[in-house]
């Protein structure tokens, strides 16, 4: 029965029972998002105990009276070391390796009920292996000698601050129990190594991902129907499907720098493994609940993917949706990750969108643009949350800040979360280049020309500065430099606005502090006549003051009408 579908973990309950033991005492409060700088994963750092470096597993065989498969612990360790270790090394980008060493054989007195009743835990085998295991491993794999290709895992303890955190077996409770068909050729069928990877996934605190509509008869959601994730379903038993981006983020294999939030407006993002950003997040008003947009292509350890493109999931860690709650949230294997839209067919990939597709998630419209390398341009339009920025309410420039955000001219000041505009911040010449270029609908430069000696390749603003120069709107300071970090004065801003928006000459602005004959006087005349400025007071322009971000918003909003 090597062909039988793996029922890959019936052990979520066991895992969570273990996690419950680590729950803080009444009265002790722990911020579950304290260790995630962008608040995506509850207990993120605490659940990375095992997901970096080398994770040492000891392999034990459990002989049962009804066992028929020839197995040795050394042979099994070699099989999984050769198959599962390179899989994790690859999908973790070299951040994590599962390493397998030889344990030995224990002999159970009771026959296994697998595969006839896969829901029965192999507790005798677990107890025997726990008693026999050598010190120092961070987990144990118990192979029950029956012709079954499924298993289950108990995930271990997250290291909550202030709590005992055993990191080695058996104290940490970290055990995977699988049938012999996961590691041996039986009846011509190859070993279902994917089950091993799946169970190890649970022990680095990954949950299942699933369609969300298929139920067991008892009302429990069926969690094995996402064909895009080793932590879910699919027909493959070989290691040809990796995992979804949010799991890799939870494990620390990609970080906050690889994430960007879309809160509102119309913006273009580059998402994918060949871009710096791998996850686009559509936040909700509630921490811990959001959608993720990631990119997958069928190559390498993803060669078995049934679809390529942009995949969308809903992540929900609110206590109401899970049975076991730690620090007020569902965490680790109890986190809920479901496909968007919810799907009923285990083979369906309607949550994966190819190049050219347009779809809507919670009112946000996403168009999958051109593929470049292993990434896509995504055009994203609409509000994921009601409040675009949380630091400009009541600001006299608020409507103008919202206007330029809606038109994709600003992305906020605190990536990747981008929930702030920093209205009182000073505009640098680098930022000004980005603001102006976006305002006139021009694209950043796509190759580096080395136009200015102090604008090196690879910085965020370089393509904006170079494009602004290529369009003839700046020659820098005239000595081959651009001074990207220098503040922009209101005089300079007037000159740039007059040039970029091709404003007509006008009669004197009448500002008392703008003398005729100053190099910037005609530009100030033009922007006043165009209604772009009304001065810093009714009678003055303050040409030597630095431009603030809130003022920049107003200049641009007025220039664009
Ligand atoms: Zn599972």
468/420 same-domain check: yes
What is the Å distance from ligand 1's center to 556 Cα?
A: 53
Q: Cβ distance 486 to 515 under 8 Å?
A: no
Distance of CA 215 to the CA centre of its chain: 28
Query: Chunked in runs of 10, what are the mean pLDDT values of the chain (561 residues)?
Result: 32 43 58 94 91 97 96 97 98 97 98 93 97 96 96 80 79 94 93 95 94 80 91 80 97 96 95 92 97 97 96 96 86 93 90 98 97 94 95 95 94 94 97 95 92 94 96 94 97 96 94 95 97 95 97 96 85
What per-residue confidence (pLDDT) applies to 161?
A: 64
What per-residue confidence (pLDDT) applies to 25?
A: 54
**Is 1 part of a structural domain of the chain?**
no
**Is 235 part of a structural domain of the chain?**
no
471/513 same-domain check: yes
The Cα 462–Cα 467 span in angstroms is 8
What is the Å distance from ligand 1's center to 118 Cα?
A: 13
What is the Å distance from ligand 1's center to 283 Cα?
A: 27
403/370 same-domain check: no
What is the Å distance from ligand 1's center to 333 Cα?
A: 8
What per-residue confidence (pLDDT) applies to 438?
A: 93
Q: Cβ distance 492 to 505 under 8 Å?
A: no
363/435 same-domain check: no
286/411 same-domain check: no
CATH code, domain with 180: 3.40.390
Domain of 434, in residue numbers = 398-559
The Cα 560–Cα 554 span in angstroms is 10
> Which token pair is 542?
């303050």
Domain limit, last residue, from 329, 349, 381 = 381
What is the Å distance from ligand 1's center to 205 Cα?
A: 11
What is the Å distance from ligand 1's center to 558 Cα?
A: 56
What per-residue confidence (pLDDT) applies to 19?
A: 46
What per-residue confidence (pLDDT) applies to 7?
A: 36
> Which token pair is 509?
């602005």
What per-residue confidence (pLDDT) applies to 234?
A: 61
What per-residue confidence (pLDDT) applies to 222?
A: 87
Strands 209-212 and 175-179: unpaired
**Is 37 part of a structural domain of the chain?**
no
What is the Å distance from ligand 1's center to 10 Cα?
A: 7
363/512 same-domain check: no
| Three-state SS at 411 | coil
Q: What's the pLDDT tens digit per position in 439-471?
A: 999 999 989 999 999 999 989 899 999 999 999
- Provide Rg for the chain, Cα atoms: 29
What per-residue confidence (pLDDT) applies to 327?
A: 85
What is the Å distance from ligand 1's center to 150 Cα?
A: 9
196/66 same-domain check: yes
Q: Cβ distance 116 to 148 under 8 Å?
A: no
What is the Å distance from ligand 1's center to 202 Cα?
A: 7
Backbone torsions φ then ψ of 282, nearest 5 degrees: -105, 100
Q: Cβ distance 108 to 121 under 8 Å?
A: no
The Cα 465–Cα 91 span in angstroms is 36
What per-residue confidence (pLDDT) applies to 14?
A: 41
When divided into structural domains, the chain yields a total of 3
145/197 same-domain check: yes
What is the Å distance from ligand 1's center to 153 Cα?
A: 7
What is the Å distance from ligand 1's center to 464 Cα?
A: 47
Q: Cβ distance 55 to 98 under 8 Å?
A: yes
**Is 112 part of a structural domain of the chain?**
yes
Residues with CB under 5 A from ligand 1 (ion): 8-9
**Is 29 part of a structural domain of the chain?**
no
What per-residue confidence (pLDDT) applies to 236?
A: 62
What per-residue confidence (pLDDT) applies to 30?
A: 81
């Amino acid at each position: 029965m090597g062909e039988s579908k793996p029922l890959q973990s019936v052990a979520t309950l066991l895992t969570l029972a273990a996690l419950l033991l680590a729950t803080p005492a009444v009265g002790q409060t722990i911020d579950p998002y304290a260790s995630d700088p962008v608040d995506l994963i509850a207990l993120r750092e605490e659940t990375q105990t095992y997901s970096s470096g080398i994770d040492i597993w000891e392999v034990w065989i459990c002989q049962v009276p009804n066992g028929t498969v020839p197995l040795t612990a050394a042979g099994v360790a070699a099989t999984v070391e050769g198959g599962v270790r390179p899989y994790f090394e690859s999908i973790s980008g070299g951040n994590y390796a599962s390493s397998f060493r030889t344990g030995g054989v224990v002999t159970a007195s009771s026959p296994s009920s697998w595969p006839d009743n896969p829901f029965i835990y192999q507790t005798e085998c677990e107890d025997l292996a726990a008693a026999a295991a050598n010190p120092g491993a961070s987990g144990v794999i118990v192979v029950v000698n029956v012709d079954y290709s499924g298993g289950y895992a108990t995930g271990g303890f997250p290291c909550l601050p202030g709590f005992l955190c055993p990191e080695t077996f058996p104290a940490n409770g970290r055990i995977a129990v699988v049938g012999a068909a996961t590691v041996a050729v039986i009846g011509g069928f190859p070993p279902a190594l994917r089950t091993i990877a799946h169970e190890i996934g649970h022990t680095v605190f990954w949950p299942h991902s699933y369609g969300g509509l298929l139920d067991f008869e008892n009302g429990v959601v069926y969690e094995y129907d996402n064909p895009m994730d080793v932590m879910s379903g699919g027909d493959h038993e070989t290691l040809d499907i990796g995992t979804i981006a949010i799991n890799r983020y939870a494990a620390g294999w990609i970080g906050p720098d690889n994430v960007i939030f879309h809160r509102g407006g119309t913006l273009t993002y580059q998402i994918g493994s060949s871009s710096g950003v791998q996850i686009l997040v559509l936040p909700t008003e509630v921490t811990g609940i959001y959608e993720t947009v990631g990119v997958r292509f069928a190559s390498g350890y993803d060669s078995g993917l049934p679809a390529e493109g942009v995949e969308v999931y809903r992540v929900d860690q609110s206590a109401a949706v899970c049975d076991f709650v730690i620090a007020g949230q569902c965490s680790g294997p109890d986190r809920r990750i479901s496909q968007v839209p919810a799907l009923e067919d285990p083979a369906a990939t309607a949550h994966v969108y190819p190049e050219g597709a347009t779809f809507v998630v919670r009112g946000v419209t996403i168009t999958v643009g051109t593929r470049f390398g292993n990434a896509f341009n995504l055009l994203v339009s609409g509000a994921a949350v009601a409040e675009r920025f949380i630091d400009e309410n009541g600001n006299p420039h608020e409507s103008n800040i919202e206007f330029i955000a809606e038109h994709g001219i600003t992305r906020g000041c605190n990536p990747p979360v981008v929930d702030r505009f920093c209205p009182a911040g000073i505009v640098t010449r680098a930022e000004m280049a980005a603001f102006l270029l976006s305002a006139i609908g021009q694209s950043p430069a796509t190759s580096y020309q080395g136009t200015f000696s102090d604008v090196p390749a690879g910085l965020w603003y370089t393509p904006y500065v170079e494009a602004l120069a290529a369009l003839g709107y700046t020659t820098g300071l005239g000595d081959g430099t651009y001074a990207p970090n220098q503040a922009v004065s209101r005089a300079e801003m007037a000159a740039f606005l007059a040039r970029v928006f091709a404003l007509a000459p006008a009669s004197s602005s009448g500002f008392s502090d703008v003398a005729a004959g100053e190099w910037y006087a005609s530009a100030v005349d033009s922007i006043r006549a165009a209604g772009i400025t009304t001065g810093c007071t009714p009678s003055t322009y303050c040409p030597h003051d630095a431009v603030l971000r809130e003022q920049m918003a107003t200049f641009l909003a007025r220039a664009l009408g």
